[in-house]
Amino acid sequence: MSPKVSDEHRESKRKEILQAAMRVFIRQGYHAATMKDVVEESGLSRGGVYLYFSSTEEMMLALLEEMDRENENQAEELLRRHRTVGEAIDSLLGHLLEELVHIREGAIPVVFETFAAEWRRQTFGRLLERRYASAVSRFAELLRVGERRGEFRPRLPAETIAKMFVSFNDGLMADAMQFGAEAMDARGQIEAYRLSLRYLLGAAGRAAEA
């Protein structure tokens, strides 16, 4: 077998194990999950799993790294897919609503659980800070693009509005996990935020109404 095929096989197995780990984390919670649970879920041998990961913590950190890689080019991707920055933000809010409706079925509660319990530890604390800074930076860059294009005339600095967006996003997720999207009126809150955001951005014209 060539080195290239071997590398592809190794990466495929690694992803298979991480997918199994996430299923276990979603079903049982990160802190309740054990390596034995992941081994059984993956269908691989104990040695086959330990060849790639020595703990559920390593798996969680690898999963978070994958999520962060997927988000790296979010702003560029949104701008490629939408005619205006206003439409791109509308797409973000629509995606947020979809996540809130199905939040208990996916990875978001696992991420919240992990950081809520582990933020005091240096590894997770620094990662949490980096993820926050990255989320703020991505949204702030979207706003600056809208400002350069003449869509927005912000009443506050882009970074301040971006931090508000991240806080709103995380707050809604926390409430939706606890009470459900319908009980906390996810749709109504997002619409209220949309109107507030439009005011803060000084959005002008129909294209920026999102």
Please indicate, yes or no, whether residues 103 and 180 belong to a single structural domain of this protein.
yes
pLDDT in tens, the chain (210 residues): 445 557 888 899 999 999 999 999 999 999 999 999 999 999 999 999 999 999 999 999 999 999 999 888 888 888 999 999 999 999 999 999 999 999 999 999 999 999 999 999 999 999 999 999 999 999 999 999 999 999 999 999 999 999 999 999 999 999 999 999 999 999 999 999 999 999 999 986 443 343
CA distances from residue 106 to 26, 68, 201 in whole angstroms, order as listed: 7, 16, 32
State how far the Cα of 199 lies from the Cα of 209, in Å rounded to an integer: 10
Please indicate, yes or no, whether residues 188 and 91 belong to a single structural domain of this protein.
yes
State how far the Cα of 180 lies from the Cα of 103, in Å rounded to an integer: 8
CATH code at 114?
1.10.357.10
Please indicate, yes or no, whether residues 44 and 79 belong to a single structural domain of this protein.
no
Please indicate, yes or no, whether residues 57 and 95 belong to a single structural domain of this protein.
no
Please indicate, yes or no, whether residues 57 and 156 belong to a single structural domain of this protein.
no
Let me know: does 54 contact 115? Beta carbons within 8 Å. no
State how far the Cα of 182 lies from the Cα of 188, in Å rounded to an integer: 10
Please indicate, yes or no, whether residues 58 and 126 belong to a single structural domain of this protein.
no
Tally of domains within the chain: 2
Please indicate, yes or no, whether residues 109 and 151 belong to a single structural domain of this protein.
yes
Please indicate, yes or no, whether residues 39 and 143 belong to a single structural domain of this protein.
no
State how far the Cα of 129 lies from the Cα of 134, in Å rounded to an integer: 9
State how far the Cα of 97 lies from the Cα of 172, in Å rounded to an integer: 9
Please indicate, yes or no, whether residues 4 and 90 belong to a single structural domain of this protein.
no
Which range marks the domain in which residue 33 is found? Answer: 1-62
3-state SS, residue 2: coil
Q: Classify residue 190: in a domain, yes or no.
A: yes
CATH code at 42?
1.10.10.60
Please indicate, yes or no, whether residues 42 and 91 belong to a single structural domain of this protein.
no
Of 13, 34, 62, the residue at which a domain comes to its end is 62
- Record the pTM: 0.87
Please indicate, yes or no, whether residues 109 and 51 belong to a single structural domain of this protein.
no
Q: Classify residue 67: in a domain, yes or no.
A: no
Please indicate, yes or no, whether residues 98 and 173 belong to a single structural domain of this protein.
yes
